[in-house]
């Protein structure tokens, strides 16, 4: 599956080109293309900002115009923050990269256009695209830095193509407590709380104990947590008359 080419159209600052390259490589993308950069090419500022992603600049062009940059693309997306008087589907980055993944999986080549920093893509550029991509930003301040927009699109591509769990537990070499360990901790707490007269009045005791058991189960305690609680209860029992 060929990942999409990210095409920077008439970028104005070498630093932004370099930052875009870094953002792309963060998410496993390396097909960068640069169209008619304002400050010429190669650009030493782009190289400096790209840091470890400098190899993307070596094959980035430059291309004379958008048509040349997308010549091998079967489908092109154009990123824009402005409404256009053109009849095209308008997608979120998530939906666009979902579609890009499906196209790439079918053997198609995909390109994504990013406009110059000051004014974005021109209508002539946008007309070459099959769909528009608009980030749902604050309508009162919709302008995104070029590298920021590249980063968002790269993130969505990675999220669509990589098996990334939405949540994981970082255990730091410590295991979760087993069910029996949590149960014994609950027994210990009940014993100490019973001795302290916590379960009062008597007709509410069963409900109070149930609530505590539910709390212990909900906390996802580690074995170290359980041992710490046992130690605290033993120390309190030793200090109380």
Instruction: Give the predicted TM-score (pTM) of the model.
Output: 0.73
Output the pLDDT for position 137.
85
More confident site: 87 or 138: 138
pLDDT, mean of residues 125-133: 93
End-to-end CA distance of the chain, in Å? 72
Output the pLDDT for position 38.
93
Can you tell me the distance from the alpha carbon of 198 to that of 150, in angstroms, rounded to the nearest whole number? 59
Are the C-beta atoms of residues 95 and 142 closer than 8 Å to each other?
no
The gap from C-alpha 3 to its chain's centroid, in whole angstroms, comes to 17
Output the pLDDT for position 164.
67
163 band by pLDDT with thresholds 50, 70 and 90: low
Residue 83 has pLDDT above 70, yes or no: no
Residue 118 has pLDDT above 90, yes or no: no
Can you tell me the distance from the alpha carbon of 149 to that of 134, in angstroms, rounded to the nearest whole number? 10
Give the long-range contacts of residues 101-109, CB within 8 A, separation 24 or more. 101/1, 101/157, 101/160, 101/161, 103/74, 103/75, 104/1, 104/2, 104/3, 104/4, 105/1, 107/2, 108/74, 108/75, 109/2, 109/5, 109/72, 109/73, 109/74, 109/75
| Coil, strand or helix at 139 | coil
pLDDT, mean of residues 195-218: 91
Find the angle CA(19)-CA(60)-CA(152) to the nearest 5 degrees. Answer: 40
Output the pLDDT for position 238.
86
Q: For residue 186, what are the CA distances in angstroms to 60, 162, 189, 233?
A: 63, 41, 5, 11
pLDDT, mean of residues 95-121: 93
Kind plus residue range of the DSSP H or E element containing 58: helix 55-58
Output the pLDDT for position 1.
87
Residue 85 has pLDDT above 80, yes or no: no
Output the pLDDT for position 170.
67
Residue 240 has pLDDT above 90, yes or no: no
pLDDT, mean of residues 99-121: 92
Cα atoms found within 13 Å of the Cα of residue 3, Cβ hemisphere only: 20
Which residues, other chains included, contact 70 with Cβ-Cβ below 8 Å and sequence gap of 6+? 5, 7, 76, 111, 113, 128
Q: Write out pLDDT tens, residues 187-201.
A: 999 999 998 889 999
């Amino acid at each position: 599956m060929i990942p999409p080419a990210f095409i920077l159209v008439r970028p104005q600052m070498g630093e932004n080109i370099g930052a875009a390259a870094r953002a792309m490589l963060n998410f496993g993308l390396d097909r960068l293309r640069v169209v008619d950069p304002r400050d010429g090419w190669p650009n030493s500022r782009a190289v400096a900002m790209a840091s470890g992603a400098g190899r993307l600049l070596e094959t980035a062009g430059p291309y004379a115009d958008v048509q040349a940059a997308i010549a091998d693309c079967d489908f092109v997306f154009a990123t824009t923050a402005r409404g256009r008087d053109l009849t095209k589907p308008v997608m979120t980055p998530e939906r666009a990269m979902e579609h890009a993944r499906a196209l790439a999986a079918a053997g198609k080549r995909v390109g994504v256009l990013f406009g110059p920093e000051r004014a974005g893509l021109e209508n002539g550029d946008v007309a070459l695209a099959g769909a528009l991509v608009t980030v749902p930003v604050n309508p009162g301040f919709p302008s995104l830095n070029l590298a920021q927009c590249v980063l968002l699109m790269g993130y969505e591509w990675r999220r669509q193509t990589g098996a990334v769990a939405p949540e994981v537990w970082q255990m730091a070499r410590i295991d979760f407590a087993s069910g029996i360990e949590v149960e014994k901790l609950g027994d210990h707490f009940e014993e100490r709380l019973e001795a302290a007269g916590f379960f009062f009045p008597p007709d509410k005791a069963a409900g109070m104990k149930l609530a505590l058991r539910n709390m212990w189960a909900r906390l996802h305690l580690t074995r170290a947590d359980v041992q710490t609680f046992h130690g605290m209860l033993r120390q309190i029992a030793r200090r109380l008359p």
